[in-house]
Amino acid sequence: MACTTILVGKKASNDQSTMIARTDDGHFDVKKLVVVSPRQQPRKYKSVISHVEIELPDNPMRYTACPSVDPKNGIWAATGINEANVGMTATETITSNPRVLAADPLVCYRKAKSRREKDVPGGIGEEDIVVLVLPYIHSAREGVLRLASLLEQYGTYESNGIAFNDENEVWWMETIGGHHWMARRVPEDRVVIHPNQFGMDAFDLEDAFGAQEAHLCSADLREFIRDHHLDLNQGGAFNPRDIFGSRTDMDHIYNTPRAWMMGRYLAPDSYRWDGPNADFGPESDRIPWSFVPDRKVTAEDIKYVLSAHYQGTPYNPYSGQDTGKRGIYRSIGINRTGVTSICQIRNGVPRELQGVEWICFGSTTFSAMLPVYPRVDSMPAYLSQVTLEATSENFYWASRLIGALADPHFAACAQLLERYQAAVVTRGRQILQEYDERMTKSGDFSLTAEANRKLCDMAKEETTSALTKILAEASVQMKNGFHLADN
């Protein structure tokens, strides 16, 4: 599934929080935000796509999830924060190459061809991973290790990147072929930008096979690389992207331009992004996987970057100028996104309040980002009771309606969208601040449910207002309008 990921170490953020964020760019998947209690968590899991069956531990924790409303293809939980204040987002579809996939083939479901044969289950994939991992981990590192054990036992049928965070650490994990993997702790002062490619461009094998302070990998990774002649690096360097990733024409249209746009916003002064002497252009293969941002990163920055459509460049599909390059690259904010989340784990607040989950449904370019507390028994209906039929009564469909109406009339609606998005995040922060202070002072952390209701009431008010205004503007802009000068 095509997605875009940003990871933020705690010294790179404005408030010493860690943040992991991803757009879930499916096929217009209808999504909701729910809380999964321990009694709702299965003890035996079966995948719809791969048919693999997995026994699960008896001690799951409560966690949030953004599953598909239509269960026909499985759960696809996408993202969440558990009651141990560990966040997870899965998965970023990544690229590989024929050498890797031949050496360690993907584990795909094989349906029996005759009555004498049996179906052969496949491995695990995006449909499954959050459900199999998030309820059982107490740190970001633990998330890597649990998922690694599952990959080694069952394999995977697709190439994926997975993020984990807790109050101190952010870890990024990438699968390699069917059973291999590597993971790296994001340096505290750095951000990571990741657009559907194998991303890591540096890795310390000595640490991975030694102290394991910031690097983890399959136990046989060195032998795997050596025996299958995978190392393409020169001069003793070790760049995993060159070994395990891709470098194709499609990357230069679909993937690298997104990394360029994100880097251009987050580090505009550290690198040259434009002009004939640019360090990196939209089709560069060497855009850094991680870097120190030029200023501290906020949740609003993440939302902006994940909404980007090359504004301020010749590639903006909404530009009024015919640059000859409009729309040639895949935007970050794309029409088919189901849900975008930021899993934020904060420092400096009571443990019960550390997690904040920022949720945005539909195309990020047009939608608002709403914060909620994840440590609750259930989410308000505005987020959790989403139907397969369109309605303005929930956040998902109201967001979709706003995007569909505003897109053909972007210039006319741009100011309305900006005011709407700013209002939701401003009022959302005000409510968070109010309840953070109240609960810290009183010690009554059950008020998180009340806060979430207040946040959703606010979001519904602002979203309905924005929808009304944008509908009016779109109606004025309809092509069958006609003015008769008969006065």
Q: Where in the sequence numbering do the catalytic residues fall?
A: 3
In this structure, the strands spanning 2-8 and 191-194 are antiparallel
| Alpha helices per DSSP H over 331-409 | 381-384, 395-406
Characterize 39-58 residue by residue with b for buried, 16 or more Cβ atoms within 10 angstroms of its Cβ, and e for exposed. eebeeebebebbebebeeee
| CA–CA distance, 415 with 408 (Å, rounded to integer) | 14
Report the C-alpha gap between 369 and 371 in whole angstroms: 7
Alpha helices, DSSP H, located in 268-409: 299-306, 381-384, 395-406
Q: Assess whether the previous peptide bond of 91 is cis (omega < 30° from 0).
A: yes
Cα 144 from Cα 173, distance rounded (Å): 7
Cα–Cα distances in Å, from 194 out to 187, 264, 326? 15, 14, 23
The closest alpha carbon to 195, from 384, 334, 299, 74, belongs to 334
Half-sphere exposure of 71 (CA within 13 A, CB side): 3
Pull the structure tokens for residue 228. 């299958």
